[in-house]
Structure 1
Amino acid sequence: MPEGPSIVVFKKRLQRFEGETVTESGGYNNPFADSISGRKVVSVETYGKYLLLDFKDFLITVHFGLFGSFLINESKKVNTSFSLFFGEDHINFYVVKIKKLQKDHAFDQEINVFSKKYKLEKTKKFLLEKYGDKRIGDVLLNQDVFPGLGNIIRNEVLFLSKIHPESTVEKIPSKKMKELLQTIKEFSKASVELIEQKIWKSSSSVYKKKEWEDQEVLEYVAPKIKRKTYVVEKVQKIY
């Protein structure tokens, strides 16, 4: 499933259609074709793992799941689940799910690291109040707290912050927690360029690696979230 930085890359590719009017909309998984056709794309934004298409009076959210993709002015041999035509140009989405939401739908951009409205202290407070007794390695995949954060970012930021994923949230020192949240913000944004260069996964420190600077990278599956976890135990401290 694409993580938040990948969705930002998608957004950058699709922003060329901002201000353009949809001449036709289709797709086998698109019950909103009549509402979309004839409407102008005001903006293309993201929230977590969602692509947001703003049509002024409503939003269309696009979720890519495990196998979703899209092509611009190209087609696959399979049917599109969602399509947008702009005269001679078109976008074909495959294996995606879409929803239509009213513009007043609350996406809390203050916990979205890709938003200019992001507030680190708000995330920290929310994390401690609601998930203080949970393991940090589990909570990092909770989309209510960390929209867009996936398993690659989870493993990398914990390593870079020298925090073991089995650490209890409320036991992590305040300064160290702030460091982790800042690392999440910086790493997530830096990942966009690495994805565009197609070197994101290959440039990782511990994700799917066997060793780091002659230190063994321990691989195991976190029991609660069932996700692969990579740890350098001599570097990452358990709190």
Structure 2
Amino acid sequence: MPEGPTIVVFKKRLEKFEGKKVTESDGYNNPFAEEISGKKLISVESYGKLLLLDFKDFLITVHFGLFGSFLINETKKVNASFSLFFGDDFINFYVVKIKKIEKDHDFDQELNVFSKKYKLEKTQKLLLEKYADKKIGDVLLNQDVFPGLGNIIRNEVLFLSKIHPESTVDKIPSKKIKELLQIIKEFSKASVELIEQKIWKSSSSVYKKKEWEDKEVLEYVAPKIKRKTYVVEKVQKLY
């Protein structure tokens, strides 16, 4: 499933359609075709794992799930689930789910590391107030706290902050929590360029790796969230 930085890359690729009128909308999983057709695409934004298409009177959210993708001015052999035509140009989305929501929908940008409104302190407060007794490796995938954060980022930032994923949130020193949140912000933003260069996964420190430097990377499946977890136990401290 694409993580936040990948959705930002998608957003950047689609920005060239901003300000253009949709001459036709189609797709087998698109109940909003008539409402979208004839509308101008005001802007393309991202929030967490969602692509947001602004049509002035409403937003269309695009969720890519595990297998979603899109092509510009190209088609696959299978039918598109959602399509937008701009005269001779078009976007075909495959295996995506879309929703229509109101413009005043509350996307909390203060939790969005890609937003200028992001507030690290708000994330820390939410983490400690609601998830103090949870394992940090589990909470990092909670989209209500960390929109856009997926399993690659989860493993990498815990390693970079030297925190074991089985650590209980309220046992981790406040200074380390702040360090972790800052690393999440910096790593997420830096990932955009790596994804564009197609070297994001290959440049990881521990994700799907057997060793880091001369130390073993332990692989296991986190019991509650059922996600593959990669840990250098000689580096990452259990709190």
**1:162 corresponding residue in structure 2:** 162
Alignment of 1:16-165 (within 5 A): 16-165=16-165
SS of 1:38's equivalent in the other structure is coil
Q: 1:201: how far off? A: 0.4
CA distance in 2, matches of 1:48, 1:187: 15
CA distance in 2, matches of 1:142, 1:155: 14
Q: How far does the alpha carbon of each residue in 1:132-182 deviate from its partner, in whole angstroms, 9 at most, with x for none?
A: 000000000001100100000000000000000000001111110000000
Q: 1:189: how far off? A: 0.5
Q: 1:56: how far off? A: 0.9
Aligned residues: 239
Q: 1:2: how far off? A: 0.5
CA distance in 1, matches of 2:137, 2:165: 4
**1:6 corresponding residue in structure 2:** 6
* 1:238 aligns to 2:234 (yes or no): no
**1:175 corresponding residue in structure 2:** 175
Q: How far does the alpha carbon of each residue in 1:180-200 deviate from its partner, in whole angstroms, 9 at most, with x for none?
A: 000000000000000000000
Code of the aligned partner of 1:41: L
Q: 1:57: how far off? A: 1.1
**2:219 corresponding residue in structure 1:** 219
Code of the aligned partner of 2:92: N
Q: How far does the alpha carbon of each residue in 1:57-94 deviate from its partner, in whole angstroms, 9 at most, with x for none?
A: 10000000000000000001111100000000000000
CA distance in 2, matches of 1:12, 1:126: 30
CA distance in 1, matches of 2:40, 2:170: 47
CA distance in 1, matches of 2:159, 2:80: 40
Code of the aligned partner of 2:24: E
CA distance in 2, matches of 1:51, 1:207: 25
SS of 1:98's equivalent in the other structure is strand
Q: 1:207: how far off? A: 0.4
TM-score, with length taken from structure 2: 0.99
Q: How far does the alpha carbon of each residue in 1:28-63 deviate from its partner, in whole angstroms, 9 at most, with x for none?
A: 000001110111111100010000000111000000
Q: 5+ residue gaps in structure 1? A: none
SS of 2:228's equivalent in the other structure is strand
TM-score, with length taken from structure 1: 0.99
Measured on the aligned residues, the alpha-carbon RMSD in Å equals 0.5
**1:198 corresponding residue in structure 2:** 198
SS of 1:51's equivalent in the other structure is strand
Q: 5+ residue gaps in structure 2? A: none
* 1:186 aligns to 2:214 (yes or no): no
CA distance in 2, matches of 1:9, 1:28: 25
